[in-house]
Structure 1
Amino acid sequence: MKNRSYEYDVALSFAGENRAYVEKVANSLKLKGIKVFYDLFEEANLWGKNLYEYLSEIYQNKARYTVLFVSSFYNKKLWTNHERVSMQARAFQESREYILPARFDNTEIPGILKTIGYINLENKTPEELAILIENKLKKDQTFIRNRWSKLSTMINPKPFVFTIKLIDEKKQLVKHAKVVLIANNSTYLEGFTDEHGLVHFVIRTRKMYTVLIAHTSYPAVVFHHINPKEDIEVTIEKSNNSGSVIINKSGHIPGISGKIEPVLKPDKGLSLYADNIAVDGGKHQPYDFALDTAISLEDNEGNRAHVTFRFFQGRIALIDFYKDIR
């Protein structure tokens, strides 16, 4: 499917008898910042237009998805059937789901197979359906790119708190882990998990982030393209004699005296300077290296460790280390 933009994220097709429910869905979606085609939101646009042609264009070309509210009333309406035919013309052209059925009852709708997955509205509130629609949109990568590309440089007038909870494989809270959120432009936020395994960030700009997590007793963790709108819980597994650190410009590896400083070369390669530390047995510095490739370090007291750079951007580096026990 082409990476295209749409005027609407979702269009709602329903019979008038079901308007009370659908209007609550539409209002909930609108509050979530989702662009929704709902007829009462479009009264000024619809005024004076050839509705046959205009609605065909909406349901066939201008929405990312359509939600078809199936009911006994739907089949009896001229306009709903016109909308359905337009949707099906679009669905026939695409290799992905486009029509999302939501059923008030078991009425059969021409062209909508019984085998197509649907949402049963019998015990589903309008807000719960709106959340399902929002989650469906979040799985669409073009929706994510288009939505966030428009918002990435805007200041959010209402800052919000993004929280990460960190636990281990035994469901124990992981305290004192360093967590960094780094944006594509290399600006970053940083913090440490507290006694409850939580770290909180005040988000003031709408951006996607890479999440870096490090702890001296746990391996490094990286998550790319994280939307900070929803809190997340992360599980990490402890590994003997190993851990991880995050350094900004330069820093230390636990158990190794001296300081290391990774740098980005003009050709986009990576090099390492190490102060009073031998790199790979005493190789010349700056020492060229690559991500995810182990490097051995030894200080002036003979302490040794193997380090692997897992991430590097701006001046932020995420590093795994394994202590060489003698």
Structure 2
Amino acid sequence: MKNNSYEYDVALSFAGENRAYVEEVANSLRIKGIKVFYDLFEEANLWGKNLYEHLSEIYQSKARYTVMFISGFYNQKLWTNHERVSMQARAFQESREYILPARFDDTEIPGILKTVGYIDLKDKTPEELATLIQKKVTKDQTFFRKKWSKLSTMVSAKPFIFSLKVSDEKGVNIKNANVVLVADNSTYLEGITDEKGLAHFIIRTRKVYTVLISHPEYPAVLFKEVNPKEDIAVTVEKNNSSGSAIINKSGQIPAISGKLEPLLKQTKGFELYADNIAIEGGKQQPYEFELNKSISLEDNGGNVIHLTFRFFQGRIALVDYSKHKPL
């Protein structure tokens, strides 16, 4: 953000099912002289535009604040999730509050902590909320005009959004796949695919990543040296006998009880601790393992799986597992 002026004082992000309430707020704000982005006020301007790009720009750079109207409906919409990712990219960039949550209910929204202050709409009329927004905008405008020039010199390059889509060989979107981007310095970003098979990441530093993808019903996927400047689509072929998982420091595998903790050896190689799990029939722990070489695990219920580490860097591991020993 290089300029200290905004096209809008506030942008409103909401689900269509909550439009009646939000429209009253928008109309009240306009009467109060607040520059507000509300889609129905912008019909002529939005006509013919690439809405994906245009709305991303509005929620990321053209409004001083965004009011997020949180509800169960909001969490289910593709467009509101796109708006949310754009807002959070902006919020990461600035050392101040930018997203102003207003709750119709207690729905959890990714990236919105429960400790963030919010307005409970059960106790607020649209007019009362509009008055609160007006106070927020007018109170902070003078302060940020004075401070913005110093703040802008502290802000890093503008974040951008990287999206990855996961589907199977039949074109069916894969929901709840775990996706992790691991940089060369072992820092990482985590995401989960939504009902559209999409995982979104806010990229703040330009690095090349290793992309890890796992799902209990699909084999592990690994891509190296991925440049996040362009979105990518990944096709995964299903294998009925195997699944995959990503272990961050320590974790569990769905097919077996107990906890696994892989570690880098102080010298060279890898070793594994397994809590309440026998490794290779009861070998001494920590057990030394190799990438792409299967090991057997058995829990206290007699369940046996064959585990193969496909990737391990820092504290992030990508594994395949199956009840059948790989050929």
Q: Could you tell me which residue of structure 2 aligns to residue 60 of structure 1?
A: none
Q: Distance in 2 between matches of 1:157 and 1:285?
A: 46
Q: Distance in 1 between matches of 2:166 and 2:212?
A: 12
Q: Secondary structure at the match of 1:230?
A: coil
Deviations 1:40-65 (A, max 9, x none): xxxxxxxxxxxxxxxxxxxxxxxxxx
Deviation at 1:241, TM superposition (A): 2.1
Matches within 5 A, 1:45-124: none
Q: Could you tell me which residue of structure 2 aligns to residue 157 of structure 1?
A: 157
Q: Percent identity?
A: 66
The 8 Å contact of residues 307 and 320 in structure 1, kept in 2 or not, is answered as yes
Q: Distance in 2 between matches of 1:164 and 1:156?
A: 24
Q: Could you tell me which residue of structure 2 aligns to residue 171 of structure 1?
A: 171
Alignment-mate amino acid for residue 255 of structure 1: A
Q: Could you tell me which residue of structure 2 aligns to residue 292 of structure 1?
A: 292
Q: Distance in 2 between matches of 1:165 and 1:250?
A: 26
Q: Could you tell me which residue of structure 1 aligns to residue 121 of structure 2?
A: none
Deviation at 1:266, TM superposition (A): 1.2
Q: Secondary structure at the match of 1:223?
A: strand
Q: Distance in 2 between matches of 1:246 and 1:254?
A: 11
Q: Distance in 1 between matches of 2:256 and 2:268?
A: 28
Q: Could you tell me which residue of structure 1 aligns to residue 307 of structure 2?
A: 307
Q: Distance in 1 between matches of 2:170 and 2:320?
A: 21
Alignment-mate amino acid for residue 224 of structure 2: H
Matches within 5 A, 1:191-210: 191-210=191-210
Alignment-mate amino acid for residue 207 of structure 2: K
Q: Secondary structure at the match of 1:157?
A: coil
Query: What is the number of equivalent residue pairs in this alignment?
Result: 172
Q: Could you tell me which residue of structure 1 aligns to residue 33 of structure 2?
A: none
Matches within 5 A, 1:129-148: none
Q: Distance in 2 between matches of 1:240 and 1:296?
A: 19
Aligned-pair RMSD on alpha carbons?
1.5
Deviation at 1:162, TM superposition (A): 0.1
Q: Distance in 1 between matches of 2:249 and 2:177?
A: 19
Q: Could you tell me which residue of structure 2 aligns to residue 265 of structure 1?
A: 265
Q: Could you tell me which residue of structure 1 aligns to residue 322 of structure 2?
A: 322
Q: Could you tell me which residue of structure 2 aligns to residue 238 of structure 1?
A: 238
Q: Distance in 2 between matches of 1:322 and 1:156?
A: 45
Q: Distance in 2 between matches of 1:235 and 1:257?
A: 30
Deviation at 1:255, TM superposition (A): 2.1
Do residues 277 (structure 1) and 305 (structure 2) align?
Answer: no
Q: Distance in 2 between matches of 1:204 and 1:291?
A: 31
Q: Distance in 2 between matches of 1:193 and 1:291?
A: 26
Q: Distance in 1 between matches of 2:182 and 2:306?
A: 25
Q: Distance in 2 between matches of 1:302 and 1:156?
A: 53
Q: Distance in 1 between matches of 2:156 and 2:320?
A: 35
Deviation at 1:268, TM superposition (A): 2.1
Q: Distance in 1 between matches of 2:271 and 2:309?
A: 11
Deviations 1:215-253 (A, max 9, x none): 000000010000000000000000012100001111111
Deviation at 1:305, TM superposition (A): 0.4
Alignment-mate amino acid for residue 182 of structure 1: V
The 8 Å contact of residues 276 and 299 in structure 1, kept in 2 or not, is answered as yes
Deviations 1:270-325 (A, max 9, x none): 00100010001111111001000000000000001000000000000000000259
Q: Which runs of 5+ in 2 are unaligned?
A: 1-154
Q: TM-score, normalised by structure 1?
A: 0.52
Q: Distance in 1 between matches of 2:179 and 2:323?
A: 22
Q: Distance in 1 between matches of 2:164 and 2:198?
A: 6
Q: Secondary structure at the match of 2:211?
A: strand
Deviation at 1:256, TM superposition (A): 0.7
The 8 Å contact of residues 156 and 206 in structure 1, kept in 2 or not, is answered as no
Tell which structure's C-alpha radius of gyration is larger.
1
Do residues 187 (structure 1) and 205 (structure 2) align?
Answer: no
Q: Distance in 1 between matches of 2:223 and 2:319?
A: 14
Q: Secondary structure at the match of 1:194?
A: coil
Q: Distance in 2 between matches of 1:217 and 1:183?
A: 26
Deviations 1:178-233 (A, max 9, x none): 00001000000001000100000000001000000000000000100000000000
Q: Distance in 2 between matches of 1:268 and 1:194?
A: 38
The 8 Å contact of residues 179 and 191 in structure 1, kept in 2 or not, is answered as yes
